[in-house]
Amino acid sequence: MTTNLVELINPMLKKTWNLLISSMVMITYTYYNKFFMERDRKMKIITVVAHIYCEVATKALKDAKCKANIHKVLSFSRKKEKEHTFFYGGNTKSRRVCLDKLWCDCDKFKKLYLSCFHVFVACKHGDHNFSMYITHVYTLEQVSHVCEGLFVELRNEEY
């Protein structure tokens, strides 16, 4: 997000050496306003198309699904809710996943609150819906509400 803001500000302030501070602030606010209004419109369009998760989460979920296809569950305990997965391709590490506690050995599940591929393997084996294990923070509805109320469309941009 910070990189995007810097990339947005740099071209704005490129030719502003001789401008007053108030006009620079107004220019910056106007560009920010246009940027966030355009982003809000894009989010609404994407939501209408029936996308559920933001771009970053969608990409991470696709990668996790692809990785999950080459793994299988070796042992499963319904009492302990632990599942061990076997890594194909010469890697023989096993991972423990506890779906009830939202826990996995790799710690990606715990840090990002986004399903790692071990969780996908466990969900596929146990016929669970993986979307139950993704936090609501990654939904488009939640992302679109982040900047709500901060920027409103400018009615009279010329002073």
Asked if 68 contacts 53 with a C-beta cutoff of 8 angstroms, the reply is no
121: number of Cβ within 10 Å: 24
Position with higher pLDDT, 54 vs 63: 63
Range of the domain at 35: 2-51
Instruction: Indicate the pLDDT class of residue 137, thresholds 50, 70 and 90.
Output: confident
77 within a domain of the structure (yes/no): yes
145 within a domain of the structure (yes/no): no
71-77 and 103-104 strand pairing: unpaired
Are 7 and 33 part of one and the same domain?
yes
Are 43 and 76 part of one and the same domain?
no
Are 133 and 109 part of one and the same domain?
yes
Asked if 83 contacts 126 with a C-beta cutoff of 8 angstroms, the reply is yes
Are 74 and 96 part of one and the same domain?
yes
147 within a domain of the structure (yes/no): no
Are 125 and 67 part of one and the same domain?
yes
Question: H/E element holding 13?
Answer: helix 2-13
Are 59 and 132 part of one and the same domain?
yes
Region 87-111: mean pLDDT is 66
148 within a domain of the structure (yes/no): no
Are 74 and 24 part of one and the same domain?
no
Question: Partners of 85 in the beta sheet?
Answer: 73, 95
**The pLDDT value given to residue 78:** 60
Q: Which two tokens stand for residue 122?
A: 């466990």
What HEC string does 60-107 produce? HHHHHHHHHCCEEEEEEECCCCEEEEEECCCCCCEEEEECCCCEECCC
Are 88 and 127 part of one and the same domain?
yes
The answer on pLDDT for 155 being more than 70 is no
Are 59 and 134 part of one and the same domain?
yes
Are 67 and 117 part of one and the same domain?
yes
The answer on pLDDT for 38 being more than 80 is yes
- The whole-angstrom separation of Cα 11 and Cα 6 is 9
Q: Which two tokens stand for residue 30?
A: 């106007």
What is the CA 43 to chain-centroid distance, rounded?
A: 13
**The pLDDT value given to residue 86:** 42
As for how many domains the chain has, the answer is: 2
156 within a domain of the structure (yes/no): no
Region 103-125: mean pLDDT is 74
Are 134 and 60 part of one and the same domain?
yes
Asked if 113 contacts 59 with a C-beta cutoff of 8 angstroms, the reply is no
Question: H/E element holding 131?
Answer: none
Burial class (CB in 10 A: 0-12, 13-18, 19+), 157: exposed
Give the pTM: 0.52
Are 62 and 117 part of one and the same domain?
yes
